[in-house]
């Protein structure tokens, strides 16, 4: 019997190695796998490259992981947001590497990794400092820049519902980067609000088919999110 | 000199959005444009985090923590609205499906260059977000911003001094002093001046020539 549901955070985090590239879902707090990030802090892997839209806020979650010196590099589109104090301290002190990627290019680089496409051309960022040093080529009279796929060793994602085959649904704007990251990693771990019996999810409404998911763990984000 | 306040700037821009357009509004003054599109005019708002058909902010007791806009503020979904993931949301942007994007800016140049994401090449933590995708991908890009900086420096310029977001992308600029088209081979062309503002005053506040039609 296939059963991707795990019942402890230790099982969920098993095997994450030092030096891993970790894709972390969410757009701000929405769709961000807070419990899994706490699990990763507990698990101890270090020298990580983290890929997330934002560079953490406050002193918990991703910010805490960075503050503990466990993140070597962050790849994101929008590091500077309200309360991104830890990142800014580390960055100014030269203690963390930063790769800024336009948000759509970030999503597409991971989608490409998940779809077996090693690189693609896009007009986004042409003529800016983010295109420097990259291969340029003209298509239909317009200049494009070559962007490479971005693959994760691990993806930590948040979903609304999940079943034992790993099928997932998302709630409202909680979907954001999660389905794309699920496709792009060797080991995809999903925290969900609700576990459903196999066959209970409406097949036409499954957002991430189970093939992209390795482990599912139920978490409680509290009544506001239920 | 009277000019538009921010609300009036947003309202002036909203007047020019026809029914049926799909529109992406950036963070800041652009977000205010939504409040000035009359409800009976069907304009579909897109939010980069995967919302098509975004509605206004909910009353405090109706907030859904799962539903936020690009600025991470609570919003609602209009009937007919839908959600998608980030790659699809940016396919809408990068694939040329968005009729209009409205952004704020530090500077707009007379050739349509926009700078709105970093204030120097050594910015401590520049944050680009979706601006470069929107600049390169939307069918048209309008900018809404104050005509000058807080200390009076012009933001309509001959050439941008800050790092570019997208070259030659801006089609029109709405400021507190008026509305200015960016015309290829010509530069800024005055479309409309705010009440009480003269061409001489708008020109004095600009770092590039304002042409008249």
Q: What is the DSSP string of A134-159?
A: S-EEEETTEEEEEEE---EEEEEEEE
The answer to whether residue A57 scores a pLDDT higher than 90 is: no
Q: Quote the pLDDT of residue A133.
A: 97
Q: Tell which wins on pLDDT, A162 or B125.
A: A162
pLDDT class of A82 with cuts at 50, 70, 90: confident
Using one digit for the tens of pLDDT, what is the confidence trace for B83-96?
999 999 999 999 99
pLDDT class of A224 with cuts at 50, 70, 90: confident
Using one digit for the tens of pLDDT, what is the confidence trace for A141-157?
999 999 999 999 999 99
- Inter-residue contact B103 to B145 (CB < 8 Å): no
Tokens of residue A124, six digits? 């986004």
Q: Quote the pLDDT of residue B123.
A: 67
Q: Quote the pLDDT of residue B39.
A: 83
Closest CA to A218 of A197, A190, A184: A190
Tokens of residue A9, six digits? 């955070």
Whether B19 is catalytic = no
ipTM of the shown complex = 0.96
Q: What is the overall mean pLDDT for chain A?
A: 96
Report CB contact under 8 Å: B128, A78.
yes
The DSSP letter of residue B187 is: E
Q: Quote the pLDDT of residue B124.
A: 65
Instruction: For chain A, list the domains and their CATH numbers.
Output: 9-121+151-221 (3.40.1080.10)
Residues in a beta bridge with A168: A162, A208
Of A55, A102, A172, the CB nearest to B133: A102
DSSP string, B128-180: -TTHHHHHHHSS-EEEE--SB-TTS-BSEESS--SPPSBTT-EEEEE-SSEEE
Per annotation, catalytic residue among B42, B48, B107, B185: B48
CATH topology of domain B6-211: Glutaconate Coenzyme A-transferase (3.40.1080)
Query: A17-50: b or e for each residue (b if 16 or more CB lie within 10 Å)?
Result: eeebbbbbbbbbbbbbbbbbbbbbbeeebeebbb
Q: Quote the pLDDT of residue B213.
A: 78
Report CB contact under 8 Å: B85, A179.
yes
Report CB contact under 8 Å: B87, A180.
yes
Over range A195-208, report the average pLDDT.
98
| Strands A152-162 and A21-24, bridge-based pairing | parallel
Share of chain B above pLDDT 90, in %: 92
pLDDT class of B76 with cuts at 50, 70, 90: very high
- Provide the greatest CA pair distance for chain B: 53
In chain B, domain spans: 6-211
- Provide the greatest CA pair distance for chain A: 55
Of B64, B65, B126, the CB nearest to A100: B126
Share of chain A above pLDDT 70, in %: 100
- B-interface mutation test, from A54, A86, A102, A121, most B Cβ less than 10 A away: A102
Q: Tell which wins on pLDDT, B39 or A2.
A: A2
Q: Quote the pLDDT of residue A84.
A: 85
């Amino acid at each position: 019997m296939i059963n991707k549901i795990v019942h402890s955070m230790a099982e969920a985090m098993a095997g994450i190695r030092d030096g891993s590239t970790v894709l972390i879902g969410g757009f701000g707090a929405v769709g961000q796998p807070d419990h899994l990030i706490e699990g990763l802090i507990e698990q101890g892997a270090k020298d990580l490259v983290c890929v997330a839209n934002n560079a953490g806020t406050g002193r918990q979650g991703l910010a805490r992981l960075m503050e503990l010196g466990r993140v070597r590099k962050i790849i994101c589109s929008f590091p500077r947001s309200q309360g991104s104090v830890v990142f800014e301290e580390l960055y100014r002190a030269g203690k963390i590497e930063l790769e800024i990627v336009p948000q759509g290019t970030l999503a597409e680089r991971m989608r490409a990794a998940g779809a077996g496409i090693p690189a693609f051309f896009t007009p986004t960022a042409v003529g800016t400092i983010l295109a420097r040093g990259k291969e340029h080529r003209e298509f239909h009279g317009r200049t494009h820049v070559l962007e490479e796929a971005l693959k994760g060793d691990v993806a930590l994602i948040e979903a609304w519902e999940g079943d034992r085959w790993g099928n997932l649904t998302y709630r409202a704007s909680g979907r954001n980067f999660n389905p794309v990251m699920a496709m792009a990693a060797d080991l995809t771990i999903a925290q969900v609000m609700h576990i459903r019996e196999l066959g209970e999810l409406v097949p036409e409404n499954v957002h991430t088919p189970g093939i992209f998911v390795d482990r599912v763990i139920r978490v409680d984000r509290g009544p506001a999110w239920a | 000199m009277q000019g538009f306040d921010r609300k009036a700037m947003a309202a002036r821009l909203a007047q020019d959005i026809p029914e049926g357009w799909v529109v992406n509004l950036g963070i800041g003054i652009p977000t205010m444009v939504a409040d000035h599109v009359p409800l009976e005019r069907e304009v579909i708002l897109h939010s980069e985090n995967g919302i098509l058909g975004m509605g206004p902010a909910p009353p405090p007791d109706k907030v859904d923590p799962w539903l936020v806009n690009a600025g991470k503020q609570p919003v609602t979904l209009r009937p007919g609205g839908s959600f998608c993931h980030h790659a699809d949301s940016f396919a809408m942007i990068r694939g040329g499906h968005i009729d209009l994007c409205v952004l704020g800016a530090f500077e707009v140049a007379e050739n349509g260059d926009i700078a709105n994401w970093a204030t120097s090449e050594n910015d401590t933590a520049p944050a680009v977000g979706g601006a470069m995708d929107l600049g390169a991908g939307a069918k048209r890009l309008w900018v809404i911003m104050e005509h000058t900086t807080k200390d009076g420096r012009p933001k309509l310029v001959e050439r941008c001094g800050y790092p570019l977001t997208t070259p030659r992308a801006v089609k029109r600029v709405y400021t507190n002093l008026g509305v200015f088209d960016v015309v290829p081979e010509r530069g800024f062309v005055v479309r409309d001046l705010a009440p009480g503002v003269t061409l001489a005053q708008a020109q004095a506040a600009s770092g590039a020539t304002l042409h008249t039609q």
